[in-house]
Amino acid sequence: MIKARITVTLKNGVLDPQGKAIEHALSGLGFGGVGTVRQGKVFDVELAESDKAKAEADLKAMCDKLLANTVIENYSVTLT
Amino acid sequence: MKSAVVLLPGLNRDRDMIAALTKISGTPPVTVWQTDTEIPDVDLIAIPGGFSFGDYLRCGAIAARMPVMRAVAEKAAAGVTVIGVCNGFQILVEAGLLPGALMRNTSLKFVCRQVKLEITNANTMFTRRYQPGQIIRSPVAHHDGNYFADADTLARLEGEGQVVFRYAEDTNPNGSINDIAGIVNSQGNVLGLMPHPENLIEAAHGGTDGRGLFESALGIAA
């Protein structure tokens, strides 16, 4: 079995109101020097697959087809 | 005119859409379920608002991958009129039938109120009963209506007259780029909009501003 972590983040230039709100909340808690905060998503996926290359290709296809909206989001796949 | 309404778990404006289509076309729409792979021969397909699949992952993302949406895409490619309202708009965007994306409102709040809409393009099959530049009222109710598209897509939408409805008179409820409230595809037969015109079609609603959209799309004389 292969385990993977997929990270989905907003592309540069896409406004992230939630990240902005978190940024302000952190400053409000007294954390000085907080620059930009961008919110994203993490998916931990288990695959019944032993071929790492095949797993990676499948995971990328999953991102393109469902897990990420490539209009606004980037993704990265890491086998763990 | 025959119409169909797409049903998915979590939608909650389907009854409103069915009522509006029934009242305006005189014929109740057929309903198609998420697992249906074929849609009967109709002139118009409507995807109502709501919270399909609980808005899990992204609004409309799961619904857009259900079998019925492949059937909607085939019909749209064949020229059938398609309207997606609110979650229906989000589903059309996620399905790739309309460009761009709908993101969280900049206020981060769910917004339920009446807004003003400008008919930006009255020369579409959805707006021919309105005047160019006419301002109409419409209810909105959403958390993720903040339309976004990259610069190239936006320039194309604006240049080709694909922006059909724009929030007017400082009533943009969600921070959408260029105050965009509704767009059509390049063929002009698929419309997505965040406002709910189906909720303003008879006097009991407090106005009939939304009626013209359905009369236009259904080809019914005013």
ipTM: 0.85
C-alpha to C-alpha distance for B189 and B222, rounded to whole angstroms: 20
Question: Structural domain boundaries of chain B?
Answer: 3-218
CB spacing of B105 vs A17 below 8 angstroms:
yes
- Kindly state the tokens that stand for B13: 């404006």
User: In terms of DSSP bridges, do strands B111-119 and B135-142 run parallel, antiparallel, or are they unpaired?
Assistant: antiparallel
DSSP-derived letter for residue B43 is S
Q: Which stretches of chain A score pLDDT less than 50?
A: none
Residue B163: CB partners within 8 Å, gap ≥ 6? Answer: B120, B121, B157, B178, B180, B182, B183
What are the CA-CA distances from residue B130 to residues A5, B79, B184 (Å)? 51, 22, 16
Number of Cβ within a 10 Å radius of residue B110: 11
Express each pLDDT in B17-75 by its tens digit: 999 999 999 999 999 999 999 999 999 999 999 999 999 999 999 999 999 999 999 99
Query: Looking at B59, B86, B118, B215, which residue is catalytic?
Result: B86
Express each pLDDT in B179-205 by its tens digit: 999 999 999 999 999 999 999 999 999
DSSP-derived letter for residue B50 is B
Express each pLDDT in B135-160 by its tens digit: 999 999 999 999 999 999 999 999 99
Query: Looking at B59, B118, B142, B196, which residue is catalytic?
Result: B196
DSSP-derived letter for residue B65 is G
Domains and CATH numbers, chain A: 1-77 (3.30.1280.10)
C-alpha to C-alpha distance for B153 and B147, rounded to whole angstroms: 12
**Is B222 a residue whose pLDDT tops 70?**
no
The domain B3-218 having CATH identifier 3.40.50.880: the answer here is yes
Report yes or no: B108 at the A interface, CB cutoff 8 Å.
yes
- Kindly state the tokens that stand for B33: 């379920």
CB spacing of A72 vs B146 below 8 angstroms:
no
Spatial CA neighbour of A77 closest among B180, A62, A69: A62
CB spacing of A17 vs B103 below 8 angstroms:
yes
Percent of chain B with pLDDT over 90: 98
Predicted TM-score (pTM) of this structure: 0.94
Cα B153 versus chain centre, distance: 19
> What confidence category does residue B110 fall into, taking pLDDT thresholds of 50, 70 and 90?
very high
> What confidence category does residue B167 fall into, taking pLDDT thresholds of 50, 70 and 90?
very high
Q: Which of B100, B108, B150 sits opposite A18 (nearest CB)?
A: B108
